[in-house]
Structures are given as C-alpha cells and as structure tokens.
Structure 1
Amino acid sequence: MALRTLGAKAAAALDQELMSSGAFSLDQLMELAGLSVSQALFKLQPPSRGNRILIAVGPGNNGGDGLVAARHLWHYGYKPTVYYPKRPKNELYQRLTTQLQDLNVPFTSDFHSSLSQTDYIIDSIFGFSFSGEVREPFPSVISALATTKIPVLAVDAPSSWNIETGPPDQGPGKEYNPDALISLTAPKPLVKWFEGKHFVGGRFLTKDMAEKYQLDVPPYEGIDQVVEVPVR
C-alpha cells in the first residue's frame, strides 16, 4: 500500500511545528534532509558505478538540501559539482556554500556543459512551496532535465511541478518525469503522476506528530535515513 500524502499547506504547517514545539532548528532539518538525499543517491548510484554528480541548486530550502547532500557525497567518495546560479544572502546558505568551498567542491556557471561530464544529476531547484512561473536561468535547466539521458534524482518534487496537481500543462517541466524522487518527511500528492523509483527520507517524526498529520512512518531499517516505497 502506498503511503498517505502531505499537501502543501500541511507540509508548511508541519515544518513550522517541527521548528516550534518539535524543537528542531532549520539547520537541523536541512542537515537531516540533505543526509537523506545523499543516502538515496548512494542506493541509486554507488560510487563504483560512476561518481560524478551534478547538483542543480535553487535559491530556497530545497537548494539548501542539495548543498548539504553535496557535502555528504564528497565524504562518501563522489565528485560533486554544484550549479548554484541564484545565491541568497541568508547566512545559512552562505555557510553551506563555504563548507563546500573548503572541500574544494567545484561550482559551475554552465549547467549544460557540465551535463557531458556527469553520471547522475540531483534536482534540488524547487520544493513543495514552489508555485507560479519558472524564472531564469532555470527554464533551460529544467528543459535539459526533461530531455537528458543521464538519470535524475529530484528532491521532494520534480522542479516546476505543482505539489497538488503534478506536472505543468505547459512550459519546460511539462514532459519532465525524473528517474527517481525522494519525498522528504512524507510523499506529496504529486506522486500520483510520478513514474520512477520513489524514496521517503527524513527520519525524525514522532509518533504523535505523525498521527496528528495522518502520516505513515515507513519502515526504516538500521541506520538508513531513507526507504524505497511504492509510488502509488
């Protein structure tokens, strides 16, 4: 049986509750999310099968998850490259960027040329709070994600998809359906339209909080922060 989903408003409310009565900081949640992303990538693409990972990073929290994942992947023995064209001035993102620079993780300004030098892509551009029009420089990046033969892991949502209604009717994400998706905390309603491998990550919900938001906590094993689940 597929897990119950978490809509956009409920996801935002759950995040706020985790950071208030749950006593988590944003840094903690982002670290756990990014760790989950890195573990999902490891299951999909062990370093022995190709260790060059291109990470497309957006300007918000979804992008922060990608930055954290890049750091963990470097420590696992991968060679991550980060495409991060819109960098906010927020101190948290600046610290995450500095951590990567201290490891000599390369940043690229040309996503398209980097595609020819990668084995797997992580899409951490837009997450559950995305709505509206995709703005530059991301339309061409999402178009490339839709057409590339290189496998893609999307973080929480395929970028440009609506959390409730799935892929857009028009625009660069219309034909975009990545090879894999990691849903953070819980699947979102968009999984109805998703066709690839599906993971859930974010192993931090209490039983009471899961019951309050009517969520299923998947059967994580051992030290794993992710678990593969049915898409429907």
Structure 2
Amino acid sequence: MALKTLSAKAAAALDRDLMSTGAFSIDQLMELAGLSVSQAVYRVHPVTQGSRVLVAVGPGNNGGDGLVAARHLRHYGFLPTVYYPKRSKNDLYQRLVKQLEDLDVPFVEDFPAALESTDHVVDAIFGFSFSGEVREPFPAVIQAMANTKVPVTSVDAPSSWNIEEGPPKSGTGSSFHPDVLVSLTAPKPLVKFFSGRHFIGGRFVTHAIAKKYDFDVPEYEGIDQVVEVGPEGHKL
C-alpha cells in the first residue's frame, strides 16, 4: 500500500479547516508542528551526538515552525543557533523571536560560517506553499545545505523542492537531499523522491478531517508527537 499524500492545495484547505471548524489558532498549530520537529531531531540526533543545531528559518509559517523547534531544542539541552534573514513583522513571529532571545539563543547572519561549526541543521525555510523561484539570500543557503556533510532535517518539504514533483531538475536545490524529513499533518507527494528517514508529525488531526482529505492518521505512541514511517507508510 502506497503512502497517502496531501497536495499543496489540500494542505492549505486542511489548515483553513483546522483554524475554522477545528477551532485551532495558528499559534497552537505552529507550536504543535515545531514540537514535533524538535522531537524528530532529538530522535535522530541525540544531544550526546553533538549539541549544536543550526536552524535555517524562512519568512513564512515553515520558518515559524523552525523558531518553535529551536526553543524546544534549547530546553532539551541543545545549543541552537538561528539564521533568520527575512524577519516577519507579524506579532506572532516577533514573540517567537523574543522567546528565543530570552533563552540566549544566538541569531547569526552568516549561514555558511555557522554551518562549519554545527552538528545538525534544521531546514525550515520553505514549506508546502512554496512555488516559483528561490529568492535571495536563500539560493546560497540551500546550496550550502546540499553540499554539507552535516545531517539536515527538513520541515515538511526540503526547501526548493516542488511539492508535487520533488527536487528541481537543475539549479538551486537540484542536488539537495536532506537526511531526515518531518511531514506535518500528512506527507506531501514529494515524498516519493525522498530516501532518508521520514517522520510524520501532527498529533492534532481528527479522524473526521483525515477522512475528508483521504489520508491515514498514524498511531502515535505514548507522549510521542512523531511517528517514523517507511517508504510504504508502514510504522517503523
């Protein structure tokens, strides 16, 4: 049985449903998404393997998930550093930044330099709503993530990938293959081009919503916010 996936259009509609009939606020969804990302990172890269985590944050919701993940990682004992070149003026993002500043989490301007002294990277630049060209300053950042030997965990989608068609055929991101992918709510069609460790996070989806959008809610264990799945969607 192939893994059921969610198109970009369906993912956007599902988010709207969660925030209308589902009664969730965007703050709640971002908090739960970032928490699940932090748990996946902890699972694949325990603090004992190196505490330095570099989080690359984009301008939208995917970046917000990264900011939340960085906060949780700090509480787990990691030493996160955040690269956030295009800061949102939205109050929600400004509060997430303030929360990190209060935990003495440093923000850096030079991504390639920061990459040289980290143990793990979280790619929270672009999510399921990404399309079109990768704009500055992100082409060099994505290329650096493609070239590094440091393990990379991508949030919902490897940045620059087409949600339906996977990595670009050429140019920025064509050689970017992260080690870990955390699919939020449900996997997107690009997972068929991904060959690393795959987690699903989204322990807030009701069975009614999953039925409406025709995907399966995995069985989360205990207090886990993520489930690792194999290529066919079976639980590992």
Tell me the TM-score normalized by structure 1.
0.99
User: Which residue number corresponds to residue 74 of structure 1?
Assistant: 74
User: Which residue number corresponds to residue 99 of structure 1?
Assistant: 99
Distance apart, 1:171 and its partner CA: 1.5
- Report the Cα distance in structure 2 between the residues aligned to 1:126 and 1:202, rounded to whole angstroms: 18
Distance apart, 1:214 and its partner CA: 0.5
Match runs of 1:179-190 below 5 Å = 179-190=179-190
Moved segments of 4+, more than 3 Å: none
Q: Which amino acid aligns with 2:132?
A: G
Distance apart, 1:176 and its partner CA: 0.7
User: Which residue number corresponds to residue 45 of structure 1?
Assistant: 45
Match runs of 1:7-26 below 5 Å = 7-26=7-26
SS at match of 1:117: coil
C-alpha contact 1:37 1:201 (8 A) present in aligned 2? yes
Q: Which amino acid aligns with 2:62?
A: N
| Structure 2 residues not aligned, in runs of 5+ | none
User: Which residue number corresponds to residue 195 of structure 1?
Assistant: 195
User: Which residue number corresponds to residue 229 of structure 2?
Assistant: 229
Q: Which amino acid aligns with 2:47?
A: P
How many residue pairs get aligned? The number is 232
Distance apart, 1:231 and its partner CA: 2.9
Larger deviation: 147-156 or 164-173?
164-173
User: Which residue number corresponds to residue 214 of structure 2?
Assistant: 214
Q: Which amino acid aligns with 1:129?
A: S
Task: Provide the alpha-carbon RMSD of the alignment.
Answer: 0.7
SS at match of 1:133: coil
- Report the Cα distance in structure 2 between the residues aligned to 1:25 and 1:170, rounded to whole angstroms: 38
Tell me the TM-score normalized by structure 2.
0.97
- Report the Cα distance in structure 2 between the residues aligned to 1:217 and 1:6, rounded to whole angstroms: 12
Q: Which amino acid aligns with 2:148?
A: T
Distance apart, 1:2 and its partner CA: 4.4
SS at match of 2:28: helix
Larger deviation: 22-31 or 2-11?
2-11
- Report the Cα distance in structure 2 between the residues aligned to 1:120 and 1:72, rounded to whole angstroms: 15
User: Which residue number corresponds to residue 167 of structure 1?
Assistant: 167
SS at match of 2:181: strand
- Report the Cα distance in structure 1 between the residues aligned to 2:68 and 2:136, rounded to whole angstroms: 24
SS at match of 2:183: strand
Distance apart, 1:193 and its partner CA: 0.3
- Report the Cα distance in structure 2 between the residues aligned to 1:4 and 1:170, rounded to whole angstroms: 27
User: Which residue number corresponds to residue 57 of structure 1?
Assistant: 57
- Report the Cα distance in structure 2 between the residues aligned to 1:175 and 1:231, rounded to whole angstroms: 20
C-alpha contact 1:197 1:231 (8 A) present in aligned 2? no
Percent identity over the alignment is: 70
SS at match of 1:70: helix
Q: Which amino acid aligns with 1:28?
A: Q
- Report the Cα distance in structure 2 between the residues aligned to 1:164 and 1:64, rounded to whole angstroms: 23
- Report the Cα distance in structure 2 between the residues aligned to 1:104 and 1:205, rounded to whole angstroms: 33
C-alpha contact 1:53 1:118 (8 A) present in aligned 2? yes
- 1:5-29 per-residue CA deviation (whole Å, 9 max, x = no partner) reads 0001000000000000000000000
